[in-house]
């Protein structure tokens, strides 16, 4: 199955998210993932999207568990569901030290434990139960319980095991080979449904590729991600990234093939999509590139929808 995730590209107007959402709904995609980075609050954006669209289901997050507590998340999800009269699901994750510690001034340590506890508490709250846990005690939704599913964003072994206790696992920026290993571990732990966020551009033109280069920049030196890209044949880029060069110098060293290893780009999109499915991914959530030539990634969504229908 193909769904859509908002790109929230930092080099584009924030309002492009609404173009993507409207196109996804008009084209009949079943689900839209709405995260948050540095622009819109996810609950506010989801309400705007819900009021501007007709049918598409919404999944909010992944919300950083070191930043938002279970009550805040449950109340926000129930608020959106009540206001837009639509099914609204939720995703949670540990996020990064940059977001948690620097942007929010919260400790990132202990995020894995918080992830497990949030998954447990949210399930009850979203079903309308009164909370009884150190993370939240004595609260019950005043709005109708949305009975949302809970998805856990995972990459490392501990998060994968936690995801297996939830309704779904979501992977981000991952090669099909790495996805296959994580899916195997997830299902061995008892998990069932797997989604993967995958960047996409139908044209793969210069503007799109430049945007994608900026999107992977912060991952190349990161533990786990660097090893994944090295395994895919880009060890020289990873080694250079870990010398902490100026971003401009690193951007110049990222080949198109590295972007293609984790994306649905141009003519290779059909082949890569098949590889994700062969890896056991049940749902590919397309993150369309948004450029001056294709605002909101509308043309990309149209082409991928046609491809999926074949």
Q: What is the pLDDT of residues 63-94, one digit of tens each?
A: 999 888 999 999 999 999 999 999 999 999 98
Q: What is the percent of the chain where pLDDT is above 90? A: 79
Q: What is the mean pLDDT of residues 118-141?
A: 86
pLDDT tens digits along 208-217 = 999 999 999 9
- Collapsing DSSP to helix, strand or coil, 171 comes out as strand
Show the DSSP H helices in 219-266 as ranges: 225-229, 235-241, 247-253, 256-260
Q: How far is CA 203 from CA 16, 150, 292, 298, in A?
A: 18, 34, 12, 12
What is the per-residue pLDDT for 59? 98
pLDDT of residue 80: 97
Distances (CA, A) of 198 to 66, 68, 129, 284, 310: 25, 25, 35, 7, 20
Q: What is the largest CA-CA distance in the chain?
A: 55
Token pair of 305, please? 């929808």
Q: What angle do CA 207, 209, 215 make, to 5 degrees?
A: 110
> pLDDT tens, 239-279?
999 999 999 999 999 999 999 999 999 888 999 999 999 99
> Which two three-digit tokens encode residue 251?
């951007």
CA distance 22 to 146: 23
pLDDT at 37: 83
pTM over 0.85: yes
Residues 6+ apart with CB under 8 A from 106: 66, 67, 100
Alpha-carbon dihedral 108, 111, 114, 118, rounded to 10 degrees: 100
**Burial (CB count within 10 angstroms: exposed 0-12, middle 13-18, buried 19+), residue 214:** middle
Q: Above 80 in pLDDT, residue 118?
A: yes
Helix boundaries (H) for the chain: 16-26, 42-52, 70-84, 97, 111-126, 157-163, 176-188, 206-216, 225-229, 235-241, 247-253, 256-260, 269-278, 298-308
Query: Any idea which residue has 């044209």 for tokens?
Result: 203
74-108 burial code (b ≥16 CB/10 A, e <16):
bbbbbbbbbebebebbbbbbbbbeebbeeeeeeeb
pLDDT at 41: 93
pLDDT band at 203 (very low <50, low <70, confident <90, very high): confident
Nearest alpha-carbon partner for 306 in 212, 202, 207: 202
How far apart CA 51 and CA 49 sit, in angstroms, is 5
Question: What is the Cα–Cα distance from 183 to 186, expressed in whole angstroms?
Answer: 5
If 0-12 CB within 10 Å is exposed, 13-18 middle and 19+ buried, where does residue 148 land?
buried
Contact 64, 82 (CB under 8 A): no
Torsion angle of C-alpha atoms 32, 196, 213, 222, degrees rounded to 10: 130
Residue 304 pLDDT level (bands cut at 50, 70, 90): very high
pLDDT given at position 310:
66
How many Cα neighbours within 13 Å face the side chain of 99? 16
The token pair at 264 is 């649905």
Angle at CA 300, nearest 5°, toward 294 and 301?
Answer: 120
Amino acid 184: pLDDT: 96
pLDDT, residue 94, reads: 86
pLDDT over 90 at 54, yes or no: yes
The pLDDT mean for the chain works out to: 92
């Amino acid at each position: 199955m193909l769904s859509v995730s908002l790109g929230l590209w930092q080099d584009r107007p924030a309002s492009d998210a609404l173009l993507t959402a409207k196109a996804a709904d008009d084209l009949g995609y079943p689900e839209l993932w709405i995260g948050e980075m540095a622009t819109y609050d996810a609950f506010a954006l989801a309400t705007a999207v819900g009021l501007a669209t007709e049918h598409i289901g919404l999944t909010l997050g992944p919300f950083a568990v070191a930043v938002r507590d279970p009550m805040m998340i449950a109340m926000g999800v129930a608020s959106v569901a009540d206001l837009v009269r639509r099914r609204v699901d939720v995703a949670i994750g540990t996020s990064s030290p940059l977001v948690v510690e620097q942007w929010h001034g919260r400790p990132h340590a202990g995020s894995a434990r918080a992830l497990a506890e949030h998954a447990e508490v949210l399930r009850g709250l979203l079903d309308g139960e009164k909370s009884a846990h150190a993370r939240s005690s004595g609260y019950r939704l005043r709005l109708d319980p949305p009975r949302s599913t809970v998805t856990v964003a995972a990459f490392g072994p501990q998060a994968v095991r936690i995801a297996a206790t939830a309704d779904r696992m979501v992977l981000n920026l991952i090669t099909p080979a790495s996805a296959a290993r994580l899916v195997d571990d997830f299902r061995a732990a008892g998990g069932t449904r797997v989604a993967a966020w995958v960047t996409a551009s139908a044209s793969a033109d210069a503007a799109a590729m430049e945007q994608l280069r900026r999107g992977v920049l912060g991952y190349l030196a990161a533990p786990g991600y660097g090893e994944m890209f090295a395994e895919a044949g880009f060890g020289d880029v990873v080694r250079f990234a870990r010398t902490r060069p100026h971003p401009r110098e690193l951007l110049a060293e990222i080949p198109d093939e590295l972007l293609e290893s984790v994306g649905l780009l141009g003519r290779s999109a059909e082949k890569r999509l098949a590889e994700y499915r062969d890896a056991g991914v049940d749902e590919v959530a397309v993150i369309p590139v948004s450029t001056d030539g294709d605002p909101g990634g509308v043309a990309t969504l149209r082409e991928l929808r046609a491809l999926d229908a074949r």
